[in-house]
Chains A and B, each alone.
Chain A
Amino acid sequence: MIRQEKGSITPNHFIFCVACFILSSPLVQAFYISIIKQESWIAIIAGFLAFIPVLLLYFSLIKSFPQKNLIQINDLVFGKTGKAVSLLYIWFFLTIGSLNIRDVVSFVSINILPETPPVVIGITFIAVCAWSARSGFETLVRHVMFFIFISFLLIISSTLISINNMNMENLLPVFSQEFAEYARASHVVAAIPIGEIFIFLLFIPFVTGKHADIKKAYFFGALIGLAGILIIFLRDILVLGDAITIAQYPSFETQRLIDVEEFFTRLEIFYALAIIIMLFYKTSVIIYAASLGISQVFNLSGFKHITISIGAIALIYSFFVFETTAENLEWGVDTASIFSTLFQAVIPAITIIVAKIIKRSGA
């Protein structure tokens, strides 16, 4: 158990926590759509397959260090250097958190509240996120099933309603580009929407049950999330076709096109609400993870009193992390996948190798 927090959830609940985290990503679709365009669905499936070995790596960490979270594992394996490794992880969390805040703020200020200054949107958003992070893990994930329900309801209903706008030819041509481009797009998918569930390695001690159940929950959570984004993608590609590459928010545009007998129109606001709810969940989890991490690294008696300050840092970080949207997009298609892979796969792999060496030399 972790000294700073004593919440617990069941493996079934954990499935939805993981799935909800992946489902909150469609806002950044533009990252991988710009690479292989109408064939992005291939990248989603390939990206998930590429992520499975990394998932096995996490499983081996969970098995080797039962009831321990990432920070405790670092302390056990690396000794004093472990704190530095953990701080690097916290920096990683803060960076992905601030990029998410940036996404929300720019989405809301472009599409919904164009006249409101972005700072105001950011402050209100982060205040709610930090406050919910303060209430602890159990409270944070209590409504996850409700969020998943809303988001699947919207995904399925909007897909059914937009069947009229779909054109099967939009999927063609298939496999028309160089292999390297597919590899690159799959890497982005594996690292950004799916790979971010890496953060849940911090919450393993909160999940009750056997290892096998936790592993299953991790895997099925990723699978449900994948199914969600795959449906969203196919729908957007079928509806928008080539236009998908010029739309900044393809899902938003798809819903904008919905018009059934002039009665069901302007449904995009539901999508906007859903995506803000999902990103609220994601950002709160990230802020919570960063606060819990810091409180464990410095051995504090609790994490609650630092969440708001961490939220403030994440918010300001989101304003200066990139100056322009073009820079952000360039980061998304180029360096982000390398950055995330370093933290999601390379450092955990080093951890497990060092742990094996220590075990062997000790035995």
Chain B
Amino acid sequence: MILLVLIFIIIAAIDLPPILKKRGRADVIAFSVIYSMAFILSLLFVLDIKIPSPAKGFVFIVRDVLGISYKKH
């Protein structure tokens, strides 16, 4: 947990100053969205909360909804 926060502080320390200094608003917003997404996902992972996998969602749609599969049912 503490390690995680430390890692994300390091990432912010590396990436944030150059954006704040010269880049536009779009960059600041994009960075904060992606950065917070990364942080939230890592936090959920560290706290052992199950995150639904999009790849499994794709498997469900293809195999069970559309019925496309190499496996014989």
Contacts and interface: CB of A to CB of B under 8 A. Distances in A.
B34 A334 contact: no
Contacts of B50: 320
A310 B33 CA distance: 11
B62 interface: yes
A301 B27 contact: yes
Contact of B26 (A299, A338, A339): A299
B26 A298 contact: yes
Contacts of A298: 26, 30
A321 B63 contact: no
Interface residues of B, number: 34
Interface in A270-314: 294-295, 298-302, 304-306, 308-310, 312-313
A301 B23 CA distance: 7
B8 to A, nearest CB: 8
B26 A306 contact: no
A67 interface: no
B9 interface: no
B68 A306 contact: no
Interface string B43-55: 0010000110111
Contacts of A319: 45
A320 B51 contact: yes
Interface residues of A, number: 32
A334 B63 CA distance: 9
Contacts of A220: none
B11 A309 contact: yes
A141 interface: no
A322 B53 contact: yes
5 A-B pairs with the lowest CB-CB distances in the bound complex, closest first: A312-B38, A305-B15, A316-B41, A309-B38, A309-B34
Interface of A: 91, 95, 123, 184, 294-295, 298-302, 304-306, 308-310, 312-313, 316-317, 319-322, 331, 333-335, 337-339
16 contacts: A95-B55, A298-B30, A299-B26, A305-B19, A306-B34, A308-B11, A309-B15, A309-B35, A312-B11, A312-B41, A319-B45, A322-B53, A322-B56, A331-B55, A334-B71, A335-B63
